[in-house]
A and B are shown apart, each in its own frame.
Chain A
Amino acid sequence: MTVESTAARKPRRSAGTKRTSARKSPSTEPALVQLLTPEGKRVRTAQNAEYEPYVEAVTPEELRGLYRDMVLTRRFDAEATSLQRQGELGLWASLLGQEAAQIGSGRALRDDDYVFPTYREHGVAWCRGVDPTNLLGMFRGVNNGGWDPNGNNFHLYTIVIGSQTLHATGYAMGIAKDGADSAVIAYFGDGASSQGDVAESFTFSAVYNAPVVFFCQNNQWAISEPTEKQTRVPLYQRAQGFGFPGVRVDGNDVLACLAVTRWALERARRGEGPTLVEAFTYRMGAHTTSDDPTRYRHDDERAAWEAKDPIARLRSYLESETDTPQELEGFFAELETESEALGRRVREVVRAMPDPDHFAIFENVYADGHALVDEERAQFAAYQASFADVEGGK
């Protein structure tokens, strides 16, 4: 539901579709943009009419493409979790359950748009064409970000919560100065919504009318803290106070995420400024492989969200729509083979990933060099060489 102005909102409010006590019970949460029900049924409502044009032309092949993206992303993610368990990675932040939010928004982007991710946007990275094995370097501990941000217009993962929303805003201000019609998307989560930097990015983007889409994946949990510890209002409503629209979308509905993100990006391209999209979803797994969710949440909550699974939902829809079920089965089988191959490749690449050269410590600290770094590198080299002397003397 869009909140563009009080005038636009009034009739809905008087119709009782929104309640101030929304946060207390899921049943009274405000309505969200949903185009595919959890059962995989395509719905067209008057309330969603604004977003429908953005997915009107989606072909069955494109739907399969979205399905493939989600399946392969989930497979990659599961593989990474296993690799952490096997000691090949130090840590992994799983995106399990958030595939639709990431693939839907990621596939809404143009090549010239720019992405500022958190550390969990593996699905968006996939959409941008970043080799998934590149994402694993930092989790293995061989680098702090192994890809060229400008190669795919996909910035490095940002670990500190919310900082990247300001970078996204600045980048978008630059696009506006250049007179380009590209847009920026900034990912963050419900936890980050409490950070001052996120509030400042809302202020700056609104004041300068920057072409940026703030894409908040509300996955209900910031490690152990539920959304209630971050906010007293539905997060998308925050936008109103800053003077731009906010909309809540079913984050487990890939079609709705695609439609709403395209709509928001088009607003940005037209010079209408920022938009906040709150993708209402669920972190099915732990915060990271170091986390133990059994200490703070119940299994029945997870079970309720499992029934809304983004991949199962699209699969049901594809099955219900097809005239050639056998051919569709063939597609699923082929995808399973592709998925296995991806898993195998990820395993092989990670296991073969070499440790960095010791002198990498001193590389790229500065662009133009620094006398102290040079001095310490030389000291380190002499120290290292002292071992070579000992070994050589044997």
Chain B
Amino acid sequence: MAEKMALAKAINESLRKALEADPKVLIMGEDVGKLGGVFRVTDGLQKDFGEDRVIDTPLAESGIVGTAIGLALRGYRPVVEIQFDGFVFPAYDQIVTQLAKMHARSLGKVKLPVVVRIPYGGGIGAVEHHSESPEALFAHVAGLKIASPSNASDAYWMMQQAIQSDDPVIFFEPKRRYWDKAEVSREAIPDPLHKARVVREGTDLTLAAYGPMVKLCHEVAQAAAEEGKSLEVLDLRSVSPIDFDSVQASVQKTGRLVVVHEAPVFFGSGAEIAARITERCFYHLEAPVLRVGGYHAPYPPARLEEEYLPGLDRVLDAVDRSLAY
């Protein structure tokens, strides 16, 4: 049974399925109950599962994650929502210092199956602190896993897998794609959570992206095809771990790699990919690995975000530079 639905709706359906399947699954966050979340991702869940399982919390992010840790220690599987990317930092200490490390410091005696959902990224004309891409700040921390779906079907299945994971997962939801619709099959056999996927085959150059930038890379590949260039598009889907084997396989075929993300390029996930792929594919590379992303500046006011975010022309420009080597 396949059904066309928006990415936000797919997450909603996935959360509903998880709540139905396991009484230990809880939803927590600011405005997730009666309102259904500011993006309506949890719409209707409190009505159907009650205030005891879909919990409107005080406005305190550290408190949300800290109490979720305690609930996980008691045997629950909390899925917490951080309302916007830029609001996660009050919880950063609980995530980095406690959530990420507790399994290791207990020598494996306690598990922390907590999912932290974060709508992230720009492109929706929002005010300050509502458009950031902080995934690298979490990828740097051992003990966390980081996933980011690019489409409704992945959003549905990856959320299922994140909730089933016995490790904490930071689940970055591409908020500007919340309303994009795609077929979601509830009988599909999903790829593993941290496996990358070739979403368009090509021979001249590999474009690697995740979350909101996958759609852009499709558009870039389409435009390049019209100029006779064959680009392969790789949806990484996971930022920790990164499926380097899949990137390597693609780059060994094409010889060229451009990594695209909204987050600033400096110390971003693209830097890690560039370093690793240079090491793995040194003799296959026809050009240095190039990165396209945000600048080393605070996320700009909305009227400037189109200049800040990677767009079709900026990615095409990087493609041309790579092919010119």
The 8 Å CB contact of A170, one of B74, B167, B241, is B74
Question: A150, B240: Cβ atoms under 8 Å?
Answer: no
The 8 Å CB contact of A167, one of B73, B101, B108, is B73
Question: B66, A170: Cβ atoms under 8 Å?
Answer: yes
Contacts of A167 in B (CB 8 A): 66-67, 69-70, 73, 98
Q: Once the chains are docked, how many angstroms separate the CA of A145 from the CA of B216?
A: 47
Question: A366, B167: Cβ atoms under 8 Å?
Answer: yes
- Is B249 part of the contact surface with A, judged by Cβ < 8 Å? no
The 8 Å CB contact of A169, one of B70, B76, B110, is B70
Q: A174-B75, A367-B167 are in contact. Are A201 and B66 (CB under 8 A)?
A: yes
Q: Once the chains are docked, how many angstroms separate the CA of A196 from the CA of B93?
A: 11
Q: Which of A339-376 contact B (CB under 8 A)?
A: 363-368, 370-373
Question: B58, A207: Cβ atoms under 8 Å?
Answer: yes
Question: A166, B70: Cβ atoms under 8 Å?
Answer: yes
Contacts of B111 in A (CB 8 A): 367
A327 to chain B, nearest CB (A): 44
Q: Once the chains are docked, how many angstroms separate the CA of A366 from the CA of B194?
A: 14
Residue of B nearest to A186 (CB): B70
Residue of B nearest to A146 (CB): B107
Number of interface residues of B (CB under 8 A): 46
B290 to chain A, nearest CB (A): 23
Secondary structure dominating the interface of A: helix
Over the window 122-151 of chain A, the binary record of Cβ atoms lying under 8 Å from chain B Cβ atoms (1 yes, 0 no) is 000000000000000000000111101110
The 8 Å CB contact of A197, one of B58, B62, B72, B102, is B62
Question: A170, B71: Cβ atoms under 8 Å?
Answer: yes
Over the window 92-119 of chain B, the binary record of Cβ atoms lying under 8 Å from chain A Cβ atoms (1 yes, 0 no) is 0110011001111111111100000000
B309 to chain A, nearest CB (A): 28
Residue of B nearest to A170 (CB): B70
A371 to chain B, nearest CB (A): 4
Contacts of B102 in A (CB 8 A): 156
Contacts of B241 in A (CB 8 A): 370-372
Contacts of B106 in A (CB 8 A): 145, 148-149, 156, 364
Over the window 148-183 of chain A, the binary record of Cβ atoms lying under 8 Å from chain B Cβ atoms (1 yes, 0 no) is 111000011010100101111111111101100000
- Is B185 part of the contact surface with A, judged by Cβ < 8 Å? no
Q: Once the chains are docked, how many angstroms separate the CA of A207 from the CA of B66?
A: 15
- Is B125 part of the contact surface with A, judged by Cβ < 8 Å? no
Residue of A nearest to B105 (CB): A144
Residue of A nearest to B78 (CB): A170
The 8 Å CB contact of A174, one of B62, B76, B107, is B76
- Is B222 part of the contact surface with A, judged by Cβ < 8 Å? no
Q: A169-B66, A367-B111 are in contact. Are A200 and B60 (CB under 8 A)?
A: yes
Q: A201-B66, A370-B241 are in contact. Are A163 and B93 (CB under 8 A)?
A: yes
Residue of A nearest to B98 (CB): A163
Contacts of B187 in A (CB 8 A): none
Question: A200, B66: Cβ atoms under 8 Å?
Answer: yes
Contacts of A365 in B (CB 8 A): 103-104, 142-143
Contacts of B74 in A (CB 8 A): 170-171, 173-175, 178
Question: B97, A170: Cβ atoms under 8 Å?
Answer: no
Q: Once the chains are docked, how many angstroms separate the CA of A89 from the CA of B142?
A: 27
Q: A200-B62, A203-B58 are in contact. Are A177 and B103 (CB under 8 A)?
A: no
B216 to chain A, nearest CB (A): 26
Q: Once the chains are docked, how many angstroms separate the CA of A364 from the CA of B112?
A: 12
Q: A167-B98, A371-B194 are in contact. Are A364 and B73 (CB under 8 A)?
A: no
Question: A364, B67: Cβ atoms under 8 Å?
Answer: no
Contacts of B105 in A (CB 8 A): 143-145, 156
Contacts of A204 in B (CB 8 A): 57-58, 60, 63, 67
Q: Which of B238-252 contact A (CB under 8 A)?
A: 240-244
Contacts of A200 in B (CB 8 A): 58, 60, 62-63, 66
Q: A201-B66, A365-B142, A365-B143 are in contact. Are A149 and B73 (CB under 8 A)?
A: yes
Question: A166, B69: Cβ atoms under 8 Å?
Answer: yes
Over the window 47-77 of chain B, the binary record of Cβ atoms lying under 8 Å from chain A Cβ atoms (1 yes, 0 no) is 0000010000110101101111111111110
Question: A364, B167: Cβ atoms under 8 Å?
Answer: no
Residues of A that sit less than 8 Å from B by CB: 143-146, 148-150, 155-156, 158, 160, 163, 165-175, 177-178, 196-197, 200-201, 203-204, 207, 363-368, 370-373
Residues of B that sit less than 8 Å from A by CB: 52, 57-58, 60, 62-63, 65-76, 90, 93-94, 97-98, 101-111, 142-143, 145, 165-167, 194, 240-244
Could you show 8 A-B contacts with beta carbons less than 8 Å apart? A149-B109, A160-B97, A166-B65, A171-B70, A171-B71, A203-B60, A364-B108, A371-B241
Enumerate the 5 nearest inter-chain pairs by beta-carbon distance, A residue then B residue, closest first.
Answer: A170-B70, A166-B66, A174-B74, A170-B67, A200-B63
